[in-house]
Structure 1
Amino acid sequence: MTDPTESESRRRAARLLHEHPVFDGHNDLPWALREAVGYDTDRADIATDQSPVLHTDLDRLRSGGVGAQFWSVYVRTDLTGDAAVSATLEQIDCVRGLTERYSDRLIPAYSAADVERCLESGGLASLMGAEGGHSINCSMGTLRALYELGVRYMTLTHNDNVPWADSATDEPAAGGLTRFGEAVVREMNRLGMLVDLSHTSAGTMRDALRVSRAPVIFSHSSARAVCDHPRNVPDDVLRALPDNGGVAMATFVPKFVLPEAAEWDRAVDAHLTGLGLHPLDGTEQGHRARTEFERDQPRPVATVSNVADHLDHMRELAGIDHIGLGGDFDGTPFTTAGLDDVAGYPNLLAELLDRNWSEAELGKLTWHNPLRALREAENVAERLRRTESPSLATVTQLDGQPPG
């Protein structure tokens, strides 16, 4: 039955998502489950629970028109060395557990062809992306092992530098990529693992674009010209994407969308740090501390319109073939109004329709662009594997420093 209060644009968006669903670049549900329930999905059953804490469950994914999802197998950067590798393996195990428990809805996918088969069958294609080069502990063998376990992109850094690449939110150390960092990018190309440049410094972005022989992605980053946050993509990098074939996937995190929210978020991070909590603390204690802070200092609220402003700018500079969506749901304590959880994508598409985006353009944004980038990365890998052997490079060999 049609809702008489629903706008025509919202109805058009829902119809479009049936044909061209969202292929989202980044969702942190595995880490949220780790923090909230220790991976115990009996306590947080995403088939039946609509948790006020989680942004993601199966029904809301369906309502939002999500057809493919990169699940982040992120681990915090205060986990280092072998501890980071072990925690990443636990995250991978979580995603595998979800696809086994909900096998009628979440279908493992390892290639563009797998994603297309999932669309035909009505399942949600479930891929994995590792968020931060600390997950490989400076080891090419570990990088290859993650690929064999199903990881199809790696974000080169998270919030802190790794020995071979600079982060957007740390003090520059390498000036971008080191020689070993360049070797990591080339090995990812050879494997068919997408190079993800979200969280990286502008120098790392530019170096990776110079070195990569396959399309790169930004799994969850918006436009720096619209919100001047180092996590967003500078204009010159957006303009360079067409030559690379890459895709910048706009995120919905308020502090990356709205300048006032960025200022407020710095204050709440300082508040949590003063309480001895990590700024990304996802436990009940962390949620309570943020709620108390927000009660005294109301949070600036980002809107769907603000996100659309980023997409307008990104389309203008990079072109319609090089943008996508990466919500970062369950990876942020605060959400954008109208994009409160994974059911919100139709609201964004309705806003873009009202801005005269065509349905063909929206189909590229939601589905075709990330699928094309994944397929092209696979094609590049197929060619490279014929002529290149697995890299045996080490940090010490190339950069003259021990890993760590």
Structure 2
Amino acid sequence: MKKLVLLALLATTACATTHAVPGDDSDLHRRLLTLDTHLDTPIHFSRPGWDFGARHDHATDPAQVDLGRMDAGDLDGGFFVIYTASGPLTPEGYAAAKAFALGRSDEIHATLSKFPDRIGLATKASDAARLDKAGKRFGFISIENSYPLGEDLSLLGEFYRRGVRMASPVHFRNNQFADSATDTPKWNGLSPLGRQWVAEMNRLGMVLDASHASDAVLDQMIALSKTPVILSHSGSKAIFDHARNLDDARLRKLAASGGAICANAAYLGKSNPNAERSEISDKLEDAGKLGLTGEQVAALTRRLRAIEATAPSQQADFETYMRLVLHLIQVAGVDHVCFGADWDGGGGVPGLEDIDALPKVTARLRQAGYSAADIEKMWSGNVLRLVRIADERKGR
């Protein structure tokens, strides 16, 4: 665990980029406080026989994150996601989504509680350093897609009481709160209810996440929110022109408002559709529902990896990912870049297949001339600053 935590970063909202001459950085990644803002790993928490505490083999298991690899790749913590797919905008649809999201929340708490000596729940920015000092990993909780709230914003308070400290309004499809980046505009940004959602998020002290939202939604969230906005897992149109990614003008706007963008390991290049890969991925995602045995999961995963070796899901690799990271730094600055690779939710490229590879990112940033202090800002300081600001300004 860490021997150095640069706490001063958490009290800094902006400072000039500094560069340092590379030296002996063999243990730099281990010494930094690191987090990822978008871990979809809870999709595996209820999979029969799967152990979050173990170190699983990428070749035979679909998960990209577990406590074993958090140790090996020195990922100190992150935001574990309550993701709910969008459905009908009806009372019945909302009720089913609410039940699912509350169930996923229960699974996250139950899973973390199984390993009290190895990981703890974090609800404040200061918890990250506290748990790290105690020799533990830390887990924040976030919501991807506020669809399960239905039209009852009081449910945000329930999720806050359950530890949620970040939420996004929308996912792949428009919903009752906002337009999606990947759907035809319905509201031209936030809906009237979505504007109330922003105010309630601010009141509770939760970080607003604009990943998956349309450009108009991002613009309006920045204008309306009393606290800076984050994009927990997004990219740059300059690297790959996709609706999920931001243009440079909006990157600068986000930075000017104090927000941050966390580099995604998806939407980095042209996709390569493959029917068999999609079918296998769907089966693995529903392994629990389908009652697949460990042997069946391993066999499907081996086949999936074989397909990925010859037909990767996107035309991108580790070098593409680092081009994204360096471009974000160039445009937004080191005070406004973070990491959210969408692990277990579609992120990952050759050379960056799971969190074992995270030290490579730190090494490349060091080679590019960035100081340890700047790198730690990007790995944790910038995100924890937003968590702290949201908490300090709650109730206003």
Amino acid of the residue matched to residue 58 of structure 1? L
1:314-393 pair list within 5 angstroms? 314-332=328-346, 335-382=348-395, 384=396
SS of the counterpart of 1:228?
A: coil
Q: Distance in 2 between matches of 1:330 and 1:91?
A: 15
**Equivalent residue, structure 2, for 1:399:** none
Q: Which runs of 5+ in 2 are unaligned?
A: 1-21, 288-296
**Alpha-carbon separation, structure 1, partners of 2:34 and 2:245:** 21
After superposition, residues 46-85 of structure 1 pair within 5 angstroms as: 46-51=52-57, 52-78=61-87, 80-85=93-98
Give the conservation status (yes or no) of the 8 Å contact 2:81–2:144: yes
Which residue pairs with 2:40 in the alignment?
Answer: 28
Q: Deviation string for 1:167-197 (max 9, x for gaps)?
A: 1111111111122211101110111111001
Is the 1:23–1:366 Cα contact (8 Å) retained in structure 2? yes
Unpaired runs of at least 5, structure 1: 1-8, 385-404
Q: Distance in 1 between the 2:204 and 2:335 partners?
A: 24
- 2:230 is paired with a residue of what secondary structure? strand
Normalising by structure 1, we get a TM-score of 0.81
Range moving further from structure 2, 92-101 or 70-79: 70-79
- Of residues 224, 229, 248 in structure 2, which corresponds to 1:211? 224
Alignment of 1:4-403 (within 5 A): 12=25, 15-34=27-46, 37=47, 40=48, 43-51=49-57, 52-78=61-87, 80-253=93-266, 256-257=267-268, 259-260=269-270, 263-264=271-272, 267-268=273-274, 281=285, 283=287, 297=311, 299-300=313-314, 302-332=316-346, 335-382=348-395, 384=396
Distance in 2 separating the partners of 1:76 and 1:288: 27
Contact 1:133/1:154 (<8 A) preserved: yes
User: Displacement of 1:48 after TM fit?
Assistant: 2.6
Paired residue type of 1:47: G
Contact kept? 1:10, 1:347, Cα under 8 Å: no
* CA 175–57 in structure 1, closer or farther in 2 if over 3 Å, else same: same
The aligned length equals 359
Partners of 1:16 and 1:363 within 8 A in 2 = no
Give the deviation of 1:49 after TM superposition.
Answer: 4.6
Q: Secondary structure at the match of 1:104?
A: coil
CA spacing shift, 1:218–1:295, aligned 2, 3 Å: closer
Secondary structure, counterpart of 1:93 in structure 2: helix
Quote the Cα distance in structure 2 between the aligned partners of 1:305 and 1:236: 24
Question: Do the aligned partners of residues 214 and 120 (structure 1) sit closer, same or farther apart at CA in structure 2, a change above 3 Å counting?
Answer: same
Contact 1:109 1:126 in 2 (8 A): yes
Distance in 1 (CA, whole Å) between partners of 2:321 and 2:111 is: 30
Equivalent position amino acid for 1:320 in 2: V
Pairwise CA distance, 1:299 = 4.8
Contact 2:120 2:131 in 1 (8 A): yes
SS in 2 for 1:222: strand
Partner SS state of residue 356, structure 2: coil
Matched position secondary structure for 1:302 = coil
RMSD after superposition? 2.7
Decide which moves more: 177-186 or 49-58: 49-58
1:202–1:234 contact (8 Å) kept in structure 2: no
293 and 33 in structure 1: CA distance in 2 versus 1, 3 angstrom threshold: same
Q: Is the 8 A contact 1:10 1:349 kept in 2?
A: no
Structure 1 residue 289 displacement after superposition: 8.8
Q: Answer whether contact 1:33 1:44 (CA < 8 A) is retained.
A: yes
Q: Structure 1 or 2: larger helix share?
A: 1
2:202 corresponds to which letter in structure 1?
N
> d(CA) in 2 for partners of 1:63 and 1:86?
35
**Contact 1:320/1:365 (CA < 8 Å) preserved in 2?**
yes
CA displacement, residues 346-394 of structure 1 (integer Å, 9 cap, x when unaligned): 0111122222222221111112111111101111115x1xxxxxxxxxx
CA–CA distance in structure 1, aligned partners of residues 24 and 276 of structure 2: 42
SS, match of residue 82 in structure 1: helix
- Residues 297 and 226 from structure 1, CA distance in 2 versus in 1: closer, same or farther, beyond 3 angstroms? closer
Percent identity, please. 28
**Contact map agreement 1:321 1:364 (CA 8 A) in 2:** yes
TM normalised by structure 2 equals: 0.83
Structure 1 residue 19: deviation in Å?
Answer: 3.0
After superposition, the Cα gap between the structure-2 partners of 1:105 and 1:203, relative to the gap in structure 1 and judged at 3 Å, is same
Distance 1:300 1:128, change over 3 A: closer
| CA spacing shift, 1:198–1:279, aligned 2, 3 Å | farther
Tell me, what secondary structure is at the counterpart of 2:182?
Answer: coil
Retained in 2: the 8 A contact 1:130–1:155?
yes
Contact persistence 1:32–1:282 (CA under 8 A)? no
Q: 1:272 Cα shift?
A: 7.5
Q: 1:210 to 1:18 in 2, by over 3 A?
A: same
Does the 8 A contact of 1:32 with 1:331 survive in 2?
no
